[in-house]
Chain A
Amino acid sequence: MKRYSAFAIAREALRDHTGWGRAWGNPEPRRRYDAIIVGAGGHGLATAYYLGRNHGIRNVAILEKGWLGGGNTGRNTTIIRSNYLQDPSAAIYEKARSLYETLSQELNYNIMYSPRGVMMLAQTEHEVRGYRRTAQANALQGVDTEFIGPERVKALCPIIRLEGPRYPVLGALWQPRAGTARHDAVAWGYARACSEMGMHVIQKCEVTGIRREGGRVAGVDTTRGPIDCDKLGIVVAGHSGRLAEMAGFRLPIESVALQALVSEPIKPAMDVVVMANTVHGYLSQSDKGEMVIGGGADGFNNYTQRGSFHHVEETVRALVETFPMLSRLKMLRWWGGIVDMTGDRSPIISKTPLEGCFINCGWGTGGFKAIPGSGWAMAETMAKGEPGPLAAAFSLDRFREGRFIDESVAAGVAH
């Protein structure tokens, strides 16, 4: 595979770009792999990548029923932050954020990580107290955040209206090193790097059954025939419940729709990400100039990748209050993804009751930011058969044992 560089661009410019070649292979599935990952979203691809990079396990296939990155990874609003309250969350999200900082160099693929800063508005007294507490927790965790007053908020984001009629801006939790990245590029970059290591990224290959022998995993049935494996990693977000059923266990997960929309492109108007959790809205401006808008999840089980219109209406209504200039914008595209919500709204990276079978799911409305850290922790769990320090707290049995990771202040609905 070609290395991408300024030199390569110059060379290709001189020969009409005829020499780039494919970024990743399109192989036929083999009969057997050491490890199979189900789901070529960011988390599945990152898991495969770190299996190879950190643990030398390279005879790996990543099976995807659609196209790579076509699930939530290609549908999200790309907010990356690590200002969580609880220690296990801060550890894994901060690991992910720090890996994101150098991921373009690591993968030799421009994922356009932009540490433009994320601001979480405090619009009620309760939120002010909550975020002050989070800032203290973050200081102890080594995550760089601070609580800022309304004047700083206005200076960082001039299009904001501080004295909203319902919810005035009282301050914000500010993480200067947080930001956004190009979502497709994260999937593509990892896929290219996996392919480069000799792994098979196999698209249009749906897993339809999980074969078991003597209480351990033996392989999978797919729409392209049966494939054997020693280890299986299930990383399918909203479809986790279906895969767990095939493997013979149940999950504390419900699948609901989460929606986002973008406006027509406009000139640069804001260079930070703003989240307003009280009113369920968040906003950033893409490099193309579109205002990227997201809101809260729907309240009922849904597999259609289509959400309810009234949620979008509520989100936009709330954002127009805080950003009056938005009222003049036309919205261009609107879509939904099926997110996997756990009982405590924190993710699962875990062994399962089926030996050799591991699961990574429950990232719900906020897992894009976690992709590198989650892949790192999942790969370690799969390679060693036991969770490492990053994954241990996120085990499946925490629900049975009441060891919840309660992020309701920091993550309840938002990203």
Chain B
Amino acid sequence: MLRLTCPYCGVAAEETELAPGGEAHLARVGPEGNDDAFHAYLFERENPRGVHFERWRHAMGCGKWFHAARCTVTLEVFGTYPAQTTEPPAHIRAAITAKRPGWAWRGLS
């Protein structure tokens, strides 16, 4: 069972307490975007085999949305961080690099 620590209330929550919210850090497409950009925003998910960034909600706890960095092959959790950011903070990226040197995800590494 997956356990994620909520970065707001600090509870080490089990999966039954959490609601998955899909891929994190999707950049919205505004009125200036074209069909390709809109299609990519709506449908083209990263779906990686390895390091992934996701949105989760502490649904049965404090109710807050947050982010998690996770491996989709081993289910290892690299860390969690608040939702008010457009990309993973440096300490999360460093934690991933320590365990998965050379990782890459949507232009991040």
Contacts and interface: CB of A to CB of B under 8 A. Distances in A.
Nearest to A340: B47
Interface string B2-43: 100000000000011001100100000000000110011011
A303 B72 contact: yes
Given A242-B49, A299-B19, A308-B15, A400 B54 contact: no
Interface residues of A, number: 22
B43 A399 contact: yes
Contacts of A242: 49
Interface residues of B, number: 24
Given A242-B49, A299-B19, A300-B54, A343 B42 contact: yes
Contact of A254 (B16, B35, B39, B45): B45
Main secondary structure of the interface of B (DSSP, over half): mixed
5 contacts: A239-B49, A301-B47, A302-B72, A304-B74, A400-B35
Given A301-B54, A301-B72, A253 B39 contact: no
Interface in A386-415: 399-400
B73 interface: yes
B52 interface: yes
Contact of B43 (A239, A306, A310, A343): A343
A241 interface: yes
Interface in A295-328: 299-304, 306, 308-310
B95 interface: no
Interface in A252-311: 252-255, 299-304, 306, 308-310
Interface string B44-66: 11011100101000000000000
A308 B49 contact: no
A251 interface: yes
Nearest to A344: B43
B90 interface: no
A241 B47 contact: yes
Interface string A240-253: 01100000001111
B44 A250 contact: yes
B66 to A, nearest CB: 14
